Chains A and B, each alone.
Chain A
Amino acid sequence: MNFVQPNDLVRVLPEIVLAGFAILVMVLDPFVSSGRKSTLGWLALVGVAAAAYSTSWTSLSPGTAFNGNVSADEFSMYFTLLFLFVAGLTLLGSVHYLERDGINHAEYYSLVLMATLGMCFMAASTELIMIFLGLEISSISTYILAGFKRSNAQSNEASLKYFLLGSFATAFFLYGIAFVYGISGSTNLTDLNVHLARSTGWASMTSVALLLMFVGLGFKVSAVPFQIWTPDVYQGAPAPVTAFLSVGPKAAAFAVVLRVFLVGFAGVSSLSFWLIWISALLTMSLGNLAALWQSNVKRFLAYSSIAHAGYVLVGIAAALAPGALNITRAEATSSVLFYLAAYALMNVGVFILIAHLAGPGERYTNVDDFVGFGFERPGAAACLAVFMFSLAGIPTMAGFFAKFYVFRAAIHSNLIGLTIIALLNSVVSVYYYLRLVVVMYMREGKSEASHVDMPASLGIAMAASLFGIFYLGLLPGSFLDLANLAANRLP
């Protein structure tokens, strides 16, 4: 008997391609001289492109694969492409960075591909063990990446903290899986849903399972109070890694959150709704308020990414809101998907830009290092300003529509109070985003930040993310349709 159907393979084709290229990079490593490792970076980029291209085959035969363990549908495809985009941008931002800081090793590129692979599985799996494995692959890869500057104590520290806390949280997540298994006798989310719909009792056990999974996932998306690791790790990790870290695993975890709470635990959505509601409130408030004090760019962006997770949680709360119609739910889900895409554009862009501007060894990451930068390097500064405005949610940029859609969904689900708080939060956030703009343009002085011209790779990445930011900011319609399509795949 055949354990594996040909279709199964097509449906995980992007992952296979990624794995293949990851291995290829390692295999070719010994044949590339140490000064030219960047070639491997470009090879990895080709891998990403190939994986992205392979999704077109996958899309021809949508459906579940491997006994329903994974599902190749619009939802997973959306995320796959998102992860590939993030990986691509990260690679573009990394090539020059690694060279500059003397850590240009093949393993880096390979690990990025592997992590992407893990994230793809997280988004595509409909079964908890596969999700767990995907999570572990992406986590372990990123643990390593965070500590990739082996000689840098902060990088080590970030890596270790991320690793220990990540494992700690994973243990909770896994325990949650165990309880789900205990309740339903299966780790398949659809089964769980069916089971919960059939049996009314055992509420406490369900709650425990839900809670434990939320601890694990909340850790990954950095929802309060599980956000605790984020600032240290984002600050300590090499900036391109932070770029990757702040978007990829987070988006993947959100994909899982959507699947777990909207599919698996759909029957107890009133429970998860309040959980997410309060969590959203705390997350965005803490992120924004604490960011007010930060003087390190990477650290304040870390807090900002916490705040953004809060906004996404608002969208999820909208999807879970009691009494929300199916159409509202789909709208909320699609707003979350849209938000993640916009967030990816902004955050990856800004971190890889900072990686470049901070100079060798990331020496200049303090806000004050950018005094007067605006008119010294108009191009780079303008990019940075656009990222800031977009993160702050100023119209004509992606960040605005992202928030707009999320808030629209929230209003449709009658979460008016939460929306108002979210909007006030985004006003607070304007303050610290603009701080960088203020420093760059409105203060007199000589900046410390790197005056080296942007390498071509970074230039491409910037062009791509800026184009994306304005495209989503001006003509978000078609992309939102895509997100809608993906969202409708979630029952």
Chain B
Amino acid sequence: MMETLLLLMLCPPLVGAALNGILGRRFSRGTVSAIGCGASGLSMVFALAAALNLMSHSGTADYFYNSYFTWIQSGNFTADFALYYDRLTLVMTCTVTVVAFLIHLYSRGYMEHEGGTYRFFTYLNLFLFMMLTLVTAANFPLMFVGWEGVGLCSYLLIGFYFPRKSASDAGKKAFIVTRIGDIGFTLGIALIFWTFGAVDFHTVFHYAAGMGMHEKEGVFTAICLLLFLGAVGKSAQLPLYVWLPDAMEGPTPVSALIHAATMVTAGVYMVARTSILFAHAPAALEVVSAIGCLTAFFAATIALCQNDLKRMLAYSTISQLGYMFVGCGVGVFAAGIFHLMTHAFFKSLLFLAAGSVMHGLNGELDMRKMGGLRHKMPTTHLTFLVATLAISGVPFLSGFFSKDQILAGAYLGPLGHPWIYWLATLTAGMTAFYMFRGLFMTFYGESRLDHDLEHHAHESSSQMTVPLITLAFFSIVAGYVGLPHPLDGLSNFLEPVFAPAQALLKSAFPESNSSAMSEVTLMGFSLGAAALGIGLAWWFYLKSPQIPARIAASLGGLYELLLHKYYVDEIYNALIVRPIRVVSEKVLWPAIDAGLIDGLGVNGPAARAMDAGGVLRRIQSGNLRSYAAWVLLGAVAWLGYILFVH
């Protein structure tokens, strides 16, 4: 049953992609989008069916595993095409398929006026397939397939508008930068193989669970750090986050699906999936939370000054991903996943709403040229507002619950640490500030639109607004699955998945009693931070809009620094990209290849041989007397040799 369901979940997007990819050019736009949406819809249906199936059999097995065929086998190294389905997978597949389906629907409207729809839906379907492969894979190499596959689709979709250089640049950058992280993933798999003799989850996890704390801790730390390097690349963490802001060159539904809701969270999923390994390597976990926390803060600071709506959202995504890593890093994996889920809803909503704005404004993204749109785009405004509230951690919306769990964990979790908590809380405040700044600049205040746009601006069609509303609904309610007591909280739900890791961590780090009191206090701080952020945003951008400029002027350098995103791209360019290129172009190729090897090593001896020949042939002067002298020379030399030397 399950094996069929999972296949049924995986196949529709693949078939859809194949159909559209091969024949799409001959299909009408309607057929293309119908195939695309239908495929993702089917996939969602089967994902939910699989979820129900698992739940109905809960208790009999913690997870489902089935191998379909052997993919790579070499010696002991076996990587099957095998699927692995447990509650974590359930959460992921459901989130992914639901969001994906909604975004597919949305795209029908969004891509209405674009060319190459078939390409778009092909890539999107392929992406869905790859993403599902990623989360259902039962071994590391297959997960890597999904991992790279989504990267490929990301590359293709970012570069969807390939005639634009910035788009193709961004796509290439995304692919290459995430691939740098993949070095870690690859090596991590290799190390896992040489450590455990297997690369499939159940074997590896089984071995790991059976080992005591501090056993082979060094190896575990190495494995986890390597895997985390992969996650850093994919989930755009410091220092490899640079590709994500540029990825906004892609169509907005893509940004919503890939670069907000699903693909970028793959890293978090991976860390959660391998929680048992990480539990053996507390040092690695500390690195995870530290990187996560720093990224969250760092990206938030950049987001403060962004004027491009989508870029602001991108930095926000980076920041939120940091949160998720903090959750995992401090040992509350469920919280990380919880945030992943809620974030998927509200962040994709934000992007889609931004897309709706763009759609209405002919692609304008500069918030300084917007304002007052709430009248022209009421639905968009409303849904954007909901999502903003959710991400800012306003109570009773999804973001509040998930963020709160992470913050609590940051303080109280097995590996929690006060500075992580405080930095995260500060970030929460900044998040509220910049999100509301964006909200206000876009939808409130006086309109700063161009004259032409003023007339053009319109609400999007229902094809786009319906998914917005649906997502808004999820953004509100998704948080409630996480409530500890009234419902069967997500943490409890995921208990079977994380139990071994939690147990291990608990034994190693007996945590201080998590009294309800302190949790409430912590909640208070975060609420306060959010409120402060919202208040400041209101003051700066609605009440007295001249203040930001003054602050910017007074901060001068710092503002410039933030506006230019700390010049990270420039620094990378100067320190890594350019040197490599210059060395290759100016040294390796001309000097080493052409000069040293070919010149000295190859043509050198050849030239020497020619030179020698040139000298030797001079013997042949044509003069008979010289010839006789040569003969005599030979005789004298040989005679001398055999008489005196030999």
Task: Give yes or no for direct A-B contact (beta carbon below 8 Å).
Answer: yes
The answer, yes or no, to whether A231 is at the interface (CB within 8 Å) is yes
**Interchain CB contact under 8 A, A165 and B614:** no
**Interchain CB contact under 8 A, A229 and B639:** no
**Interchain CB contact under 8 A, B638 and A228:** no
The answer, yes or no, to whether B635 is at the interface (CB within 8 Å) is yes
The answer, yes or no, to whether B582 is at the interface (CB within 8 Å) is no
* List of B residues within 8 angstroms of A224 by Cβ: 634
**Interchain CB contact under 8 A, A428 and B635:** no
Could you tell me the distance between the alpha carbons of A226 and B637 in the complex, rounded to whole angstroms?
12
Stretch among B480-488, B536-544, B619-627 lining the A interface: B619-627
Shortest B631–chain A CB gap in Å is 6
* List of B residues within 8 angstroms of A191 by Cβ: none
Which residue of the partner chain, among B609, B637, B638, contacts A428 with CB atoms under 8 Å?
B609
* List of A residues within 8 angstroms of B638 by Cβ: 211, 214-215, 275
**Interchain CB contact under 8 A, B617 and A211:** no
Which residue of the partner chain, among B613, B614, B637, B642, contacts A207 with CB atoms under 8 Å?
B642
**Interchain CB contact under 8 A, A218 and B609:** no
Q: Mark B599-634, 1 if CB is under 8 A from A, else 0.
A: 000000010011011101101101010011011011
**Interchain CB contact under 8 A, A218 and B634:** yes
Which residue of the partner chain, among A208, A229, A278, A292, contacts B627 with CB atoms under 8 Å?
A229
Could you tell me the distance between the alpha carbons of A439 and B606 in the complex, rounded to whole angstroms?
19
**Interchain CB contact under 8 A, A228 and B631:** yes
Most buried by B among A168, A208, A292, A431: A292
The answer, yes or no, to whether A204 is at the interface (CB within 8 Å) is yes
The answer, yes or no, to whether B517 is at the interface (CB within 8 Å) is no
Shortest A399–chain B CB gap in Å is 21
* List of B residues within 8 angstroms of A289 by Cβ: 609, 612-613, 616
Could you tell me the distance between the alpha carbons of A85 and B338 in the complex, rounded to whole angstroms?
96
**Interchain CB contact under 8 A, B624 and A165:** yes
* List of B residues within 8 angstroms of A164 by Cβ: 624, 628
* List of A residues within 8 angstroms of B617 by Cβ: 290, 293-294
**Interchain CB contact under 8 A, A293 and B610:** yes
* List of B residues within 8 angstroms of A239 by Cβ: none
* List of A residues within 8 angstroms of B610 by Cβ: 292-293
* List of A residues within 8 angstroms of B641 by Cβ: 274-275, 278
Q: Mark A170-213, 1 if CB is under 8 A from B, else 0.
A: 00100000000000000000000000000000001001101110
The answer, yes or no, to whether B646 is at the interface (CB within 8 Å) is yes
**Interchain CB contact under 8 A, A228 and B616:** no
The answer, yes or no, to whether B1 is at the interface (CB within 8 Å) is no
Q: Chain A: how many interface residues by the 8 Å CB criterion?
A: 38
Chief secondary structure at chain A's binding surface: helix
**Interchain CB contact under 8 A, A293 and B642:** no
The answer, yes or no, to whether B643 is at the interface (CB within 8 Å) is yes
**Interchain CB contact under 8 A, B635 and A172:** yes
Q: Which chain B residue shows the least CB distance to A427? A: B609
Contact residues, A364-380 vs B (CB, 8 A): none
**Interchain CB contact under 8 A, A228 and B619:** yes
**Interchain CB contact under 8 A, B643 and A204:** yes
* List of B residues within 8 angstroms of A161 by Cβ: 624, 627
**Interchain CB contact under 8 A, A165 and B628:** yes
* List of B residues within 8 angstroms of A219 by Cβ: 631
Could you tell me the distance between the alpha carbons of A225 and B632 in the complex, rounded to whole angstroms?
9
**Interchain CB contact under 8 A, A290 and B620:** yes
* List of B residues within 8 angstroms of A165 by Cβ: 624, 627-628, 631
Which residue of the partner chain, among A208, A225, A271, A292, contacts B631 with CB atoms under 8 Å?
A225
Could you tell me the distance between the alpha carbons of A224 and B609 in the complex, rounded to whole angstroms?
18
Could you tell me the distance between the alpha carbons of A226 and B635 in the complex, rounded to whole angstroms?
9
Contact residues, A136-165 vs B (CB, 8 A): 160-161, 164-165
**Interchain CB contact under 8 A, A215 and B631:** yes
Could you tell me the distance between the alpha carbons of A225 and B624 in the complex, rounded to whole angstroms?
14
Shortest A244–chain B CB gap in Å is 22
Could you tell me the distance between the alpha carbons of A225 and B613 in the complex, rounded to whole angstroms?
15
Shortest A183–chain B CB gap in Å is 15
Which residue of the partner chain, among B614, B622, B631, B633, contacts A169 with CB atoms under 8 Å?
B631
A211 touching B639 in the complex, CB below 8 Å, given contacts A289-B613, A291-B613, A293-B613: yes
Shortest A482–chain B CB gap in Å is 34
**Interchain CB contact under 8 A, B634 and A225:** yes
**Interchain CB contact under 8 A, A228 and B635:** no
**Interchain CB contact under 8 A, B646 and A286:** no
Which residue of the partner chain, among B612, B613, B627, B639, contacts A228 with CB atoms under 8 Å?
B627
Q: Mark A213-249, 1 if CB is under 8 A from B, else 0.
A: 0110011000011101101100000000000000000
Q: Which chain A residue shows the least CB distance to B627? A: A228
Q: Which chain B residue shows the least CB distance to A272? A: B642
Shortest A273–chain B CB gap in Å is 10
Contact residues, B249-280 vs A (CB, 8 A): none
* List of B residues within 8 angstroms of A274 by Cβ: 641, 646
Most buried by A among B609, B627, B638: B638
Most buried by B among A224, A231, A293, A431: A293
* List of A residues within 8 angstroms of B643 by Cβ: 204, 207-208
**Interchain CB contact under 8 A, B624 and A208:** no
Contact residues, A236-293 vs B (CB, 8 A): 271, 274-275, 278, 286, 288-293
**Interchain CB contact under 8 A, A271 and B627:** no
Which residue of the partner chain, among A218, A232, A288, contacts B622 with CB atoms under 8 Å?
A232
**Interchain CB contact under 8 A, B646 and A292:** no
* List of B residues within 8 angstroms of A215 by Cβ: 631, 634-635, 638
Shortest A305–chain B CB gap in Å is 14
Shortest B243–chain A CB gap in Å is 49
Most buried by B among A218, A231, A288, A290: A290
**Interchain CB contact under 8 A, B628 and A231:** no
Could you tell me the distance between the alpha carbons of A211 and B643 in the complex, rounded to whole angstroms?
10
Q: Mark A72-104, 1 if CB is under 8 A from B, else 0.
A: 000000000000000000000000000000000
Shortest B439–chain A CB gap in Å is 73
Shortest B539–chain A CB gap in Å is 81
A232 touching B646 in the complex, CB below 8 Å, given contacts A215-B634, A219-B631, A226-B634: no
Shortest A274–chain B CB gap in Å is 6
* List of B residues within 8 angstroms of A208 by Cβ: 639, 643
Could you tell me the distance between the alpha carbons of A472 and B633 in the complex, rounded to whole angstroms?
39
Which residue of the partner chain, among B613, B627, B633, B642, contacts A275 with CB atoms under 8 Å?
B642
Could you tell me the distance between the alpha carbons of A207 and B643 in the complex, rounded to whole angstroms?
7
Which residue of the partner chain, among A232, A275, A278, contacts B620 with CB atoms under 8 Å?
A232
Shortest A283–chain B CB gap in Å is 11
**Interchain CB contact under 8 A, A228 and B620:** yes
A207 touching B631 in the complex, CB below 8 Å, given contacts A232-B622, A293-B617, A428-B609: no
Could you tell me the distance between the alpha carbons of A212 and B614 in the complex, rounded to whole angstroms?
30
Could you tell me the distance between the alpha carbons of A189 and B630 in the complex, rounded to whole angstroms?
29
Shortest A424–chain B CB gap in Å is 10
**Interchain CB contact under 8 A, A207 and B639:** yes
* List of B residues within 8 angstroms of A431 by Cβ: 606
**Interchain CB contact under 8 A, B627 and A211:** no
Shortest B102–chain A CB gap in Å is 65
**Interchain CB contact under 8 A, B614 and A293:** yes
Could you tell me the distance between the alpha carbons of A105 and B210 in the complex, rounded to whole angstroms?
104
Could you tell me the distance between the alpha carbons of A491 and B620 in the complex, rounded to whole angstroms?
39
Which residue of the partner chain, among A169, A271, A292, A294, contacts B642 with CB atoms under 8 Å?
A271
Please list the 7 inter-chain residue pairs (A to B) with the smallest Cβ-Cβ separation, ordered nearest first.
A289-B613, A225-B634, A292-B613, A290-B617, A228-B627, A290-B616, A207-B642
Q: A210-B642, A225-B631 are in contact. List 7 more A-B contacts (CB 8 A).
A: A172-B631, A207-B639, A215-B631, A218-B634, A232-B620, A278-B641, A292-B610
* Interchain residue pairs with CB less than 8 A apart (17): A161-B624, A161-B627, A165-B628, A168-B628, A169-B631, A172-B631, A207-B646, A211-B639, A215-B634, A215-B635, A226-B630, A228-B627, A271-B646, A274-B641, A286-B616, A290-B617, A293-B613
Q: Which residues of A contact B (CB under 8 A)?
A: 160-161, 164-165, 168-169, 172, 204, 207-208, 210-212, 214-215, 218-219, 224-226, 228-229, 231-232, 271, 274-275, 278, 286, 288-294, 428, 431
